[in-house]
Amino acid sequence: MAYIPLFLRASAETPALIVGGGAIAAAKTEALASVGAQVEIVAETVGESVRALCSQHGFKFTEAPYQAEFIKGHAFVVAATDDDDLNGRIAADSRALGVMVNVVDNPPLCDFIFPALVRRGPLQIAVSSSGISPVLARLIKHKIEQAVPSAFENLIHFMDQKKMAMREAFRSIQPRRLFYEQIIRGPIAEEVLEGNAERADALFEAALAEFPKEKQAALYLIGAGPGHPELITLKAIRLLSQADVVLYDRLVSPVILDQYARKDAHKIPVGKTRDHHHKKQEDIGALMERHLRKGDIVVRLKGGDPGVFAHGAEEIEIARRVGCPYQIVPGISAANGCAAYAGVPLTERDGAKGVRLMTLYTKTLHQADFWEGLRFSQNDTLVFYMSTPHYVLLCEKLQGIGFHPDTPVLVVEQGTTPEHRDYVSTLARFDAELGEHAFISPSLMIIGDVVRWHEQNSWKEAPAQASAYFAPLPEREDEHSPKEAQNA
């Protein structure tokens, strides 16, 4: 059962209605009163606890048998009696009158549920398990309470006081938003939290005078890591949250976009797979340049590390041509992530002393110089990206230049994701054992003596059934999406 998180208003004109007068009703009355809601209570008998709360908060109560007429004119209803049949009637009557209802401890009858709530003045943080585990929601609430000190209420009031000054100073949304973030993340907020009002005001006025008032373009090349959404850096999360436009690869976990990109950011898929380029590199460059020239903050979000097979230099050149600042934010590469989840070291004392990261382009498959260059890498770890169609030929070629037939081979499929799966073989046996296997993209091949550590160090369990973690690419669209066409 899905619940949409909303914050409802229960004013004096349309208060909440609680049906019940005992301990359950008292608990809900107190919870609603704590967030400033207006409440009315109806029950045949109103207990002392409820009466005391009504007196304290100025709530109205009525002692009378329940009738459906009581529901009219209320923002929502809470059925808090100890009579299951009566609670069911209240729920049915509420729905018939188009009023949302909560039946305490009976989720199937609820239109909404009460979350665990962290409140810092006007700031409210709601936590819900959709009614499955209130204890879990409460424990998470306690963690948030530790992370968000009570003094945050002062910061909320400070921001409220300065809101009009910021609106007058910033006519564009982007610089206003960035200024807000600077306040919240920086020394102004620290002074507010410590209660140093005069110092906070002085810092605010100085910052407001100095901060750019117009849109400022920037380009951030960000590595999202090899697949698992937690394998992304704190800096990447911070910069991603600033983006007006996010150009993202297929191999970026959707969780990262959902959790860290702004909901109003323009998110454009620009992923590629073999024989299917949803956006060609020149298309990506044109998109990037167009948005930078409009003054947007553009994040180019790439799976793995933006410096490994990722066109980073070409994209930085666009920022240099436009004349805007840029940053490169490294990410955990597929080689590092896949090897770690497979329990394999990429280097080893008295073993592999080097690592080579490569890909097999079609034009290099039969170039003698390429293979000759690998002849002296037999004591290195070789990692091949984007080479799945050529695995069999690769194993044959390496044996042909002197690699021992028993050299171990590891293919990691969808590494670090919940669909992570390892396949181990050797150069000589690979064709017979895995030559016909259709590996799910992305897959990475690791070759070298270090693979022998997999058997004893592997810790990531394979899923029961193989399935794709990353969504397939959409069909190639016109250069301008409808939204872009309107703004072009």
Give catalytic residue positions. 249, 272
Phi/psi at 276 (nearest 5 deg)?
-150, 100
Query: Amino acid identity of 219?
Result: L
Kindly report the backbone phi and psi dihedral angles of residue 249, in degrees, each rounded to the nearest multiple of 5, phi listed first. Answer: -80, 165
SS3 (DSSP) at 133: coil
Please state whether the peptide bond connecting residue 330 to the residue before it is cis, i.e. omega within 30 degrees of 0: no
Nearest to 476 by CA among 247, 248, 272: 272
- Quick one: CA torsion of 482, 484, 486, 488, rounded to 10 degrees? -150
Cα 192 to Cα 200: distance, rounded to the nearest angstrom: 6
Q: b/e map of 149-159 (b: 16 or more CB within 10 Å)?
A: eeebbbbeebb
The CA distance from 288 to 219, in Å, is 8
Under 8 Å between Cβ of 177 and 244:
no
Angle, alpha carbons 290-294-299 (nearest 5°)? 70
Give the number of other CB atoms < 10 A from CB of residue 219: 26
The helix or strand, by DSSP H or E, that contains position 26, with its residue range, turns out to be: helix 23-34
Where b means 16+ CB within 10 Å and e means fewer, 373-386 reads ebeebbebbbbbbb
- Output the DSSP codes for 66-108: --GGGGTT-SEEEE--S-HHHHHHHHHHHHHTT-EEEETT-GG
Nearest to 337 by CA among 303, 291, 294, 374: 303
Helix or strand run (H / E) with residue 127: strand 123-127
